[in-house]
Amino acid sequence: MNRTAARQRMTELCTELEQTAREVGRPLCFMEVCGTHTVSACRSGVHALMPDTVRLVSGPGCPVCVTAQRHIDALIRLGHIPDVILTTYGDMLRVTGSNGDSLQKARSEGADVRVVNSTMDAVDIAKANPTRQVVFASVGFETTAPASAVAVMAASACTLDNFTIMPAHKLVIPAMLALLQDPDIKVDGFLCPGHVSVIIGSDAYRPVVEQHRKPCVISGFEPLQIMQGVLQLVRQLKDDCPSIENLYPIAVTPAGNIHAQHALDRVFMPSDTPWRALATIPDSGLELRPEFARFDALTRFEITLGEDHEPPGCRCGEVITGKCLPDECRLFGNVCTPVNPIGPCMVSSEGSCQAWFKYRRRESSPDKRSTTEVKGHATHPAKIKATS
Taking only the tens place, the pLDDT of each residue in 241-273 is 999 999 999 999 999 999 999 999 999 999 999
pLDDT at position 372 over 80: no
Domain count within the chain: 1
- The answer to whether 325 and 370 are in contact (CB under 8 A) is yes
In this prediction, residue 352 carries a pLDDT of 92
∠ CA 376-322-255, nearest 5°, is 115
97 lies in some domain: no
Q: What's the rounded mean pLDDT across residues 33-61?
A: 91
pLDDT at position 359 over 50: yes
State CA 57 to chain mean position distance.
Answer: 13
Q: What's the rounded mean pLDDT across residues 323-332?
A: 90
pLDDT at position 383 over 50: no
**DSSP character at residue 371:** T
Sign of CA dihedral 225, 229, 234, 238: positive
Q: What's the rounded mean pLDDT across residues 138-156?
A: 97
43 lies in some domain: yes
Length of the chain, in residues: 388
Q: What's the rounded mean pLDDT across residues 270-292?
A: 95
What is the rounded average pLDDT for all residues in the chain?
Answer: 90
17 lies in some domain: yes
What pTM was computed for the model? Answer: 0.88
Q: What's the rounded mean pLDDT across residues 57-68?
A: 91
- The answer to whether 122 and 50 are in contact (CB under 8 A) is no
The candidate with the shortest Cα–Cα distance to 234, out of 13, 21, 58, 33, is 21
CATH of the domain at 11: 3.40.50.11750
In this prediction, residue 362 carries a pLDDT of 57
22 lies in some domain: yes
The candidate with the shortest Cα–Cα distance to 162, out of 267, 81, 262, is 81
70 lies in some domain: no
Compare 323 and 238 and report the one with higher pLDDT.
Answer: 238
- Give the pLDDT band of residue 121 (cuts 50, 70, 90): very high
> What is the C-alpha to C-alpha distance for residues 343 and 351, in angstroms, rounded to an integer?
10
Beta-sheet pairing, 112-115 with 133-140: unpaired
In this prediction, residue 9 carries a pLDDT of 94
31 lies in some domain: yes
In this prediction, residue 218 carries a pLDDT of 98
- Give the pLDDT band of residue 382 (cuts 50, 70, 90): very low
Point out the least confidently predicted range of 94-103, 277-286, 337-346, 373-382: 373-382
In this prediction, residue 99 carries a pLDDT of 84
55 lies in some domain: yes
Domain hosting 186: range is 3-63+173-246
219 lies in some domain: yes
- The answer to whether 373 and 322 are in contact (CB under 8 A) is no
Beta-sheet pairing, 84-88 with 112-115: parallel
**DSSP character at residue 342:** S
Question: Which amino acid, one-letter code, is at 348?
Answer: S
In this prediction, residue 2 carries a pLDDT of 85
Question: What's the maximum distance between 2 C-alpha atoms anywhere in the chain?
Answer: 67
Point out the least confidently predicted range of 188-197, 219-228, 322-331: 322-331
Beta-sheet pairing, 279-288 with 268-275: antiparallel
In this prediction, residue 5 carries a pLDDT of 92
